[in-house]
Chains A and B, each alone.
Chain A
Amino acid sequence: MKHFTKLAAAAALGTVLGTAAVAQELYTPNLAYRTGPFAATGIPLMNGQADYMTLLNERDGGVGGIRINAEECETGYSTEKGVECYEKTKGKAIVTQPWSTGITLQVLPKTNVDEIPILAPGYGFSPMADGKVFQWAFNMPAGYWDAADMIVQFLEQEGSLEGKKIAFLHLDHPYGKEPLPLLEKLAADKGFELLPIPVGLKEMQNQSAQWLQIRRERPDNVVMWGWGAMNAGAITEAVKTKFPMENMIGVWWAGHDADLKLVGDEGKGYKSISWSFPNPDAPVMQQVKEMVFDKGLSQSNEEEMQGVFYGRGLVMSMILAEGIKNAQDNFGTTEIDATQLRWGLENINLTEERIAELGMEGMVPPFSTSCANHTGHAGGWMLEWDGAKFVKASDLLTPNVDSYADLIASASAEYATSNAPWAMNEECSATN
C-alpha cells in the first residue's frame, strides 16, 4: 500500500512542480554533470558557466535588469537522468542545455515539439547548423564538422596531405563518430589515407591495443575525438609509446589542462583546436575574480580558473546572455519567453567590438548567426601545450563551410524525413 501512496505522492508533487510560477527571473537551467565518470571535465565547465551568470547578477543585476536563475540539474552524464531533468525543468525554462551527445539526441526531437531552444555550444549534432530544419537547436560558435575541417586545414599548412596517413582515434559513441562523414570526404578530396581507430567506452582507460595499432601503422598524425577518461588515457599512452606529441591533435573537448598536467613536459607539442581561449588578461577574468570568486560565490579554485575549460564555460554563458539581451532589445520586454529567446539566439552578432565591450578579448572568435545558420562557424585557434599550459599556436582558422554545405543539407534533410512530421522554419529566407 505505502508504495502506491508514494507513487501517488510523486504524481501530485510532479503536478505541483510543473505549475509553480516564479516571479521576476529568467530560468535557464543547466543539465550539469558534476558527478559520474565525466565529472572531472564537467566541473570546470559548469563552474565557468555558473560564475559568468553570477557575475551578471552581481554586477548588472542580471541581463536587462532581470536576474538569471541558472540552476543546475545534476545528470551525472546519464541519458536517463538527463531526460528526467529536461522534463522537470521544461515547464518554466526558456532554454535547455543538455550537455551530453546522448541527452542531446533524445532531447532534440522533443524540443521541436515543446518549442524550447536547445543550446549546445560546440557539441551535439553537426547538421544542427541548418537552422531552417533544426529551428530550435543551436550549437554555436562551431560544430564538430567545423573542427574537423579546421584540423585538416592546419595540417595542410604544414605541407600537402597527399599520400599521408592520418589516424582518427575516436570514442566509439555517437559523439566520436560525428566527424567521420566529413573526414572521409576530406580524405577523398585531399588524397590522404584516413584510419579510423575506435575506442570502446569500456577501453577508455586502457588503450594499449589501439596504440599498438598506431605504432604498427605509423600514421603521420593522430587526430583525437575523445572525452573524459579517454583523453588522459590516450595522452599517457602516446607518451609511453613515444609517439611524437606535436603530431597529435585533439578536438576542443580533448584539450583539458588536467589531462596534460598528468604528463607535464612530456606532453609538450600536443595540440587541440579550440573556439575559446582562457585569456588571463581579459577584463572579465578580473571581474569574475573580484565579484564572484573573492566573495565566495564560486565553487571554483584559482588553478581551475586558469584552465581552458573554465574559460570555455564563461564563453558559453556569455553566448546565452547575448541571446537573452538581443531578444529583450527586440521585443521590448525583459521577461522574454522561449520563442523570443530563439529569435535572440538566431540574431547574435558578436563582433570584435562587442567582444571587447564584454571584456572577453581573445577568448572567443567573432561570429554571427541567422535563422538559417545556427552554428555561426566561428572558427578557432590551434592551442598547443607548452608543458604547463595551453598557448595559441596559430592565427584564427576559419572552416570552409561551403565545401560541406551539401553534407549539412543532406544530413539535416534526412533527419527531418526520418522524424516526419518535423516542423521546419519555412519563413526563413537567409542562406547558411
Chain B
Amino acid sequence: MLYRTAGQFKTSYVADQALFPVKQDAVLLWLFLLLGWVIFPLTASEFAFQALLIPILIYALAAMGLNILTGFAGQLSLGTGAFMGVGAYACYKMVTIFPELNPIIAILLSGFFSAGIGVVFGIPSLRIKGFYLAIATLAAQFFLVWLFEKWSWLYNYNASGAIQVPNLEMFGIFVSGPQASSVTEYYIVLFVVTLLTILCINLTRGNLGRTWKATRDMDIAAELIGINLMKSKLTAFAVSSYVVGVAGALYVFSWKGAAEPNVFDIPLSFQVLFIAIIGGLGSILGNYLGAILIVGLPVMLNVIAGTQVFEMSTTSSLLLAALVAGATFLFWIARSMWGMGAAIGFGAVTLIYGYAQLQGFRIESALIEHINVMIIGALIVFFLIIEPHGLNQLWRLIREKLIIWPFPH
C-alpha cells in the first residue's frame, strides 16, 4: 500500500536504469534530505548537534570509505583509524602553513594525502588476500600512529603533542575551531558528506564499481575477462582512503577540535569496521544505518536513562511512541517475531523504568554506562542474527515486503 508500484510504467531505458526506479524511494530520499538540510538545523539543540548529528555523519562517511574497499572491492582493511589520522594531520598542516586557505578546500584536499598513503599500504594487496592483507593494513595502523606521536613537525612541535584546531573563517563566519557555532559545523559536515555520498553512489554503480565487484567476487575470473587487478585494487585503496581521510579531517576540524595521536588508534578502526559490517558490506545506505546504531543509539539510551520518562515534553514522548510503533510495524511487515518482540519490549521497559522513576528509583551514571554497553552489544548480536547481511539488507527485505503487502509472497 505504502510502496505500491502499480502504475509506475517505465517507457524508456533511462527510466528503467534510474537510481531510484520506484518513485517512493526517491520521495523518501528527498524527505531525509529535507530533514537533514532544513528540519534538523532548525530544531536541534547544541547537544544534538555535537553528540548525535555531527558524529553520526562523520562516522557514516568513514564507514562508507571503508565499505568501498572492503564491501565493494573485497580487500579487508584494519587501518581505517590511521588513514583518518593522515587526513586530520594533513588538514592541520595545510591550514597552519597556508592560513588563508579555504577550510572546505583544505578538508577536501587532505583526502589526497591519505589516498597516497593508502595506495602505498595497498601495494601488498596485489600479492596477498583476506586475513593476510588485514595484517598488512594493521601494520599501517601501528606505523602511522607511531609516526603521529614521534614526528613533532606534524603537530608543529606543540608541547602537548596534540593538534588543536585554530579558529578558521570563511566569508566572515567561523567555520571551524572553538568559535564556530554547531550549526555551521553541521552544515559543513553535511555538505561534504552529501557530496561524497553522491560521488560514491555513482562510482560504485559505474565502470569502476563493477570492476571492484568483479575483483571481490572472484579475482581470477575478473582477470580472465580482462580486468586489470592492479588497477582495480589500487583505485579501490585510493578512493577508499580519500573518503576516509576526508572523514578524519572532518572528525578533528568539524567535531572534536583537538586530537592526540592515540584517538586514531585501533579502537577507531574497529568502530568504523563495526559500522560497515552491521550496516551491511557493499552498500551505501547501510553505513548511515550502522552509524546511527553504533554511534547514535548509545547517546540516545543515555539521554533516555537520564530523563524523567513521564515528564518528557509532548513532542518527545510522541516521537518516542512513534518510534516504537514504527519499528514494531516494520518488523511485523518483515514477519520478524523477534524484532517485534524487541521493539515492544523496549517500549515496555521504558514505561516500567518511568514508573520506577516515579517511585523514586535512581541509577548511578556509571551503572547506566555499564547497562548501555550491554544493550548495545546485545543489539549488535540481535541485528546480525535476524539479518546477517546487515541493516541495509534488513531494510531491503522490509521494502520488498512493503511493495507486495498485504500479500505474503
Residues of A participating in the B interface, judged by any CB pair closer than 8 Å: 1-19, 32, 34-35, 71-74, 76, 79-80, 83-84, 87-88, 90-91, 101-102, 105-106, 109-110, 112-113, 125, 172-174, 177-178, 180-181, 200-202, 299, 411, 418-421
Contact = CB atoms under 8 A, between A and B. Distances in A.
B322 interface: yes
Nearest to B329: A2
Interface string B306-331: 11000011011001101100110010
Interface residues of B, number: 66
A35 B370 contact: yes
Contacts of B296: 6-7, 10
B365 interface: yes
A32 B391 CA distance: 34
Interface of B: 28, 32, 35, 39-40, 43-48, 50-53, 55-56, 149, 159-162, 164, 166-167, 177-179, 256-258, 260, 262-263, 265, 288-289, 292-293, 296-297, 299-300, 302-304, 306-307, 312-313, 315-316, 319-320, 322-323, 326-327, 330, 364-366, 368-370, 391
Best-surrounded residue of B32, B44, B296, B307 (most CB of chain A within 10 A): B44
B82 to A, nearest CB: 14
A146 to B, nearest CB: 16
A76 B319 contact: no
B303 A79 contact: no
Contacts of B45: 11, 14-15, 17-19
A9 B300 contact: yes
B316 A5 contact: no
Contacts of A201: 262, 265
Contacts of B313: 12, 16
Contacts of A17: 45, 47, 303, 306-307
B364 A299 contact: yes
From DSSP, what is the main secondary structure of chain A's interface residues? helix
Contacts of A109: 164, 177-178, 257-258
Contact of B365 (A3, A32, A101, A105): A32
Given A11-B44, A83-B256, A113-B178, A5 B51 contact: no
A105 B162 contact: yes
B299 A10 contact: yes
Given A13-B307, A112-B178, 14 more contacts: A13-B48, A14-B52, A16-B312, A16-B313, A35-B366, A74-B366, A84-B50, A87-B50, A105-B260, A106-B258, A172-B161, A202-B265, A418-B166, A419-B167
Contacts of B293: 3
Contact of B43 (A11, A19, A102): A11
Contacts of B366: 32, 34-35, 72, 74
B47 A79 contact: no
